[in-house]
Structures are given as C-alpha cells and as structure tokens.
Amino acid sequence: MSKEEYLDRFVFVGLANLNNGFDAKDIRYFSSSDFATILQRVEKLGLGIYGIEPWKNGNLYDVIACNECKSCSTDPKWFWKAFTNFKEKDDDLLYSATYYIPDRLIECKGGL
C-alpha cells in the first residue's frame, strides 16, 4: 500500500476533499472541522505532520512546519497549537498538510 492509499483508507475516510481545482488534484483540502478529525486520527495512529498549509479563497494563507516550531513531526503539541493559532486568526480556512507515516504501518496495513 502506498502512503497516499494509507491516508485515504485510515485518515481521510469519510471526510470531504474540498479541492475544487484551485491546486494540484492530488493535494487534498479539508474544512476546519474535518481537519480537526484528521489531527485526531494522526495522533491516535502515531503518524506525524511535517507542515500545515491553510488556504483561503483559493490562495495560500500561510504555512508552518514542525521544524519552525523546533518540534518533531510526531509531536501532537506542535500541530494542535499551529491549527489552533490558524483558527483563531481566521475560522474560514481550508487545510492541507504533509504527513509522516512510518514504513511499518504501510507494510502491515494497520489502521484505526
């Protein structure tokens, strides 16, 4: 299974991809509430987030990466804090992220 298939099967399942063509088709964007669900799943599965990109009206709003926070991708404190800060600035954003998935999960096909 590829990392994209893993994300589709265990992280993005049941959530609406809101990329209507404003970015590359393989980049998925989610509402604030769906992205919170993604963060919960990432944390539960022991995955990580390298960076978060919120967009507004089809334009890049901002970006933050775990290394800017002097944290590792699998530390949920950094990605929850970044997400909360973005939501406090503007609650009408779409979210995309880059994900860390350990190879052992891809090989064993483990999930929720």
DSSP letter string, 22-81: SS-TTS--B-HHHHHHHHHHHHHHT-EEEEEEEEETTEE---EEGGGGT--TT-HHHHHH
* Confidence (pLDDT) at 14: 97
For residue 79, the enclosing domain spans: 3-106
CA distance 9 to 66: 24
Q: Rounded mean pLDDT of 49-76?
A: 87
pLDDT in tens, 69-109: 777 788 899 999 999 999 999 889 999 999 999 888 777 55
- Cβ count within 10 A of residue 57: 9
* Confidence (pLDDT) at 94: 96
Q: Is residue 111 included in any domain, yes or no?
A: no
Looking at the predicted structure, is the pLDDT value of residue 67 above 60?
Answer: yes
CA distance 54 to 29: 8
* Confidence (pLDDT) at 108: 58
- CATH number, position 12: 3.30.190
Looking at the predicted structure, is the pLDDT value of residue 68 above 60?
Answer: yes
CA distance 103 to 87: 31
Q: Is residue 87 included in any domain, yes or no?
A: yes
pLDDT in tens, 2-39: 899 999 999 999 999 999 888 888 899 999 999 999 99
Q: Is residue 112 included in any domain, yes or no?
A: no
Q: Is residue 43 included in any domain, yes or no?
A: yes
Q: Is residue 21 included in any domain, yes or no?
A: yes
Identify whether the C-beta of residue 52 lies closer than 8 Å to the C-beta of residue 82: yes
Q: Rounded mean pLDDT of 47-73?
A: 88
Identify whether the C-beta of residue 18 lies closer than 8 Å to the C-beta of residue 27: no
| Domains: count for the chain | 1
